[in-house]
Chains A and B, each alone.
Chain A
Amino acid sequence: MTTLSILIPIALFLGGLGLASFLWALRSGQYEDLDGAAERILIDDEDDRPATS
């Protein structure tokens, strides 16, 4: 039981971390242009920040 009381919070925290980073990525517009993101890595002098609009 003692191991559980450590492991469960850790598991929940890591899951929450995943959820939070997904929601952050969503908010910062990283899913706005998936096709463009795939192409932009081929451009040499490119900044890859999401558009701020």
Chain B
Amino acid sequence: MSCCAPVAEGALAAAERPVVSAEELRLASRSLGGGVMQVELAVPDVHCGGCIHAVESTLSKLDGVLSARVNLSTRRVTIKYREGKLPPIVESLVSIGYPPHLFEEEGTKDAVLSELLWATGVAGFAAGNIMLLSVSVWSGAEAATRDLFHWISALIAIPALFYAGRIFFRSAWNAVLHGRTNMDVPISIGVILAYALSLYETIHSGPHAYFDGAVSLLFFLLIGRTLDHVMRNRARVAVTSLARLAPRGATVLHPDGSRDYVPLNEIEPGMVIAVAVGERIPVDGVVMEGSTDIDCSMATGESAPQPAQPGSDIRAGMLNLTHPITMKATAAAKDSFLAEMVRLMEAAESSRAAYRRLADRVSALYAPVVHLTALLTFIGWMIWSGGDWHLSITIAIAVLIITCPCALGLAVPMVQVVAARRLFEHGIMAKDGSAMERLANIDTAVFDKTGTLTVGEARLANAGEIDAEALAIAAALGARSNHPLSRAIAAAAPANTKPVQLAGITEQPGFGVEAKIGSSVYRLGRASWALSDDAAEGTVLARDGQLLASFRFENRLRQDAAEALEALRKRGIEVEIMSGDTRAQVEAIATKLGVTRYHAGVLPGEKAVRMAELAAEGRKVLMVGDGLNDAPALAAAYVSMAPATAADVGRNAADFVFLHESMNAVPFAHRVARRSGQLIRQNFGIAVVYNLIAVPIAILGYVTPLVAAVAMSGSSVIVVANALRLLRLGGGQKRSAAATARRASHKLQEVM
């Protein structure tokens, strides 16, 4: 009774869904004390109020479950249950159409966010009250009244300055300690000086105090910073909620015959592990018993499944396709293939040139200019007024206050917040703002093949050339196997085929399927086995060892792949394919997509080296890849993107993760990034124009707190309004428009 379970948003639905086993669930649960256990599960299919209700009511009815609470924003459900017997949580969620999965634990609550929110709250309170008092001063409060108002303002501003301002002061101090500058340095100097001057004026019953300006500046900047953090956090949560592909543990068979579910990091070389069909190989090892087919696409990039017999080497991250096997671990998890990739990634990351954010580069120019102007103003007024210290310092500080980069502080984060929201709506998660700046600058895009340009399932390429009767028999045989190529043949048969009577069906893992029709033996599978001829290659259907039909397969291109690559080329970006797969496979895909530069059979380390080569040529490379073998390249590239179906480490290394199947995510993200780059530069332009007008007024000594407040808030509003123009950027994916419409109709159904 799930209203929206069929709405498979994103590529996740297409990928295999690791259903959580009871052992994994137990490992993920934590005790709350008093015999109560709590576990959190990601339920990506929860979309609306109906889903919340379905999940919560189903779970709370289970014996032993104390409470279940869905969080729709993060698409997670928190379940509390009594210790002892584990309620059938996973089974009941699957049965109502919300398959759950576990996600990476990310520690406790977000301390930074709550600090930012508290600071914003305090600054907002202070700004509101001080502004209230300032309005009275501007409208003509005199003498004792004005002094009283100034004193009250000062008292409110003290806690606000220390509490809300420390976020900026801390970051500025860090930058200064390391001999750098960032936008927080001029902000901190401006705020502190404005405060000091105002306090001095208040003590000496002066007419002008800038408490209002200083505190509302903090308030505006904190709003920008909080939004920025919320957006990034949302993307991070969405990424950590994706299904984990690496197993959490494995079933170990002990010498005495007992079996035990052991966490991954406790597996030692020499242990015997049972791997069921559909499970990933947990650590590097050797097959001991059973023959099967192994999908290596995630590990090496090879698209065709490989056979594995006793004695075959298998590596962590590969997927067992057709038959259960037992294997002997040859390496612990920390020495396995996956760990090797992590080490390569770390090496790649440390060699990558650090990117300096645009705002930091601007502030490196900005701060000296502003501070020099203030100094010159001071010297000029000293000469002009014949040594009037108080007047000269007041005007010099007024220059600093008016140039305090409120608009600049908002210029970058506001645009990036709006851009991140745009991307989020299209199922693209941006890890941080600097990733967006880098994406806007790329001139080369390198794509992995398996899993990125093509998606998992193979498709029969030559269905038309095969005799209809042979195809019908092949399809009937293929339907009895889990092997992806058998599945593809079964799917290729026309719907109106008459049923074939098969007898004595047996599957030979690693070879194919065999059955009898009448007295003839039919075999579908590896040519060398079906034709009993060791030299034969490919996949065939044979009757009594005689060839009936041979099958060719192609990998299905990811939706809109050709269109997306074309869009990138039109923008002058060079496109390249780099894959671990065989030359023939890569060539076929490259030709189809019109890509002239491609590399086949590339090892993971070589991928990262190629990134370094391109960088040495002065190229700014976007790497798009999904496999474990791509992870080092993703970390080495100037900027990187990964689909949601990517291996866990790859997803964590990538700057962007896209959830939908369509490849249009890549050009769309690039377009949004370029547009936000433009808007950021426009915002800087606005800030410069504002300073060209405001600074002369300040230098001439005409700035009052009223002028400062109007100028600051005016420029901030213009900058924010300019950032919002990004929302009008049209296009994107048609798919997600359809998804929005679907969502709306769900809501409607709920209401009615």
- Chain A positions near chain B (C-beta within 8 angstroms): 1, 4, 8, 11-12, 15-16, 18-19, 22-23, 26, 31-36, 39-43, 46, 51, 53
Contacts and interface: CB of A to CB of B under 8 A. Distances in A.
Given A32-B73, A42-B747, 6 more contacts: A11-B129, A12-B156, A15-B125, A18-B125, A39-B48, A43-B52
B114 A35 contact: no
B122 interface: yes
Nearest to B133: A8
Contact of B117 (A4, A11, A26): A26
Contact of A42 (B71, B156, B751): B751
Interface centre among B70, B125, B747 (most CB of A within 10 A): B125
B73 A33 contact: yes
Nearest to A15: B129
A4 B145 contact: yes
Contacts of A32: 71, 73
6 contacts: A1-B144, A12-B129, A32-B71, A43-B49, A51-B71, A53-B69
Contacts of A43: 49, 52-53
A51 B282 CA distance: 36
Interface string B142-153: 001100100010
A17 B261 CA distance: 54
A19 B52 contact: no
Contacts of A12: 129, 152, 156
A51 B69 contact: yes
B78 interface: yes
Contact of A36 (B52, B144, B750): B52
Chain B interface: which size bin? 20 to 34
A2 B132 CA distance: 18
B96 interface: no
Contact of B114 (A16, A26, A34): A26
B72 interface: yes
Given A36-B72, A51-B78, A53-B38, A23 B53 contact: no
B73 A8 contact: no
B118 interface: yes
Chain B at the A interface: SS class? helix
A39 B72 contact: yes
A19 B413 CA distance: 25
Nearest to B53: A43
B125 A36 contact: no
Contacts of A41: 49
Interface in B47-95: 48-49, 52-53, 69-74, 78
A39 B71 CA distance: 11
Interface in B89-128: 114, 117-118, 121-122, 124-125, 128
Interface string B717-749: 000000000000000000000000000000100
Contacts of B128: 15
B152 A8 contact: yes
Chain A at the B interface: SS class? helix
Contacts of B145: 1, 4
Given A1-B145, A40-B52, A42-B751, A23 B121 contact: yes
B73 A42 contact: no
Nearest to A22: B121
Contact of A34 (B49, B73, B129, B156): B73
Question: 10 closest Cβ contacts across the A-B interface?
Answer: A36-B72, A39-B49, A19-B125, A42-B49, A51-B69, A35-B72, A33-B71, A35-B73, A33-B73, A43-B53
Contacts of A4: 145, 148
A52 to B, nearest CB: 9
A19 B164 CA distance: 14
Contacts of A8: 133, 152
A12 B153 CA distance: 11
Contact of A19 (B69, B121, B148): B121
Contacts of B70: 36
Nearest to B57: A45
Contacts of A15: 125, 128-129
Contacts of B117: 26, 31
A42 to B, nearest CB: 4
A36 B71 contact: yes
Given A8-B152, A32-B73, A39-B72, A53 B52 contact: no
Given A23-B121, A26-B118, A26-B121, A39 B52 contact: yes
A14 B70 CA distance: 35
Interface centre among A4, A36, A41 (most CB of B within 10 A): A36
A53 to B, nearest CB: 6
Contacts of A35: 72-73
Interface centre among B73, B118, B144, B156 (most CB of A within 10 A): B73
Contacts of A18: 125
Interface centre among A11, A32, A53 (most CB of B within 10 A): A53
A47 B144 CA distance: 55
A46 B133 CA distance: 45
B43 to A, nearest CB: 12
Given A26-B114, A36-B73, A16 B125 contact: yes
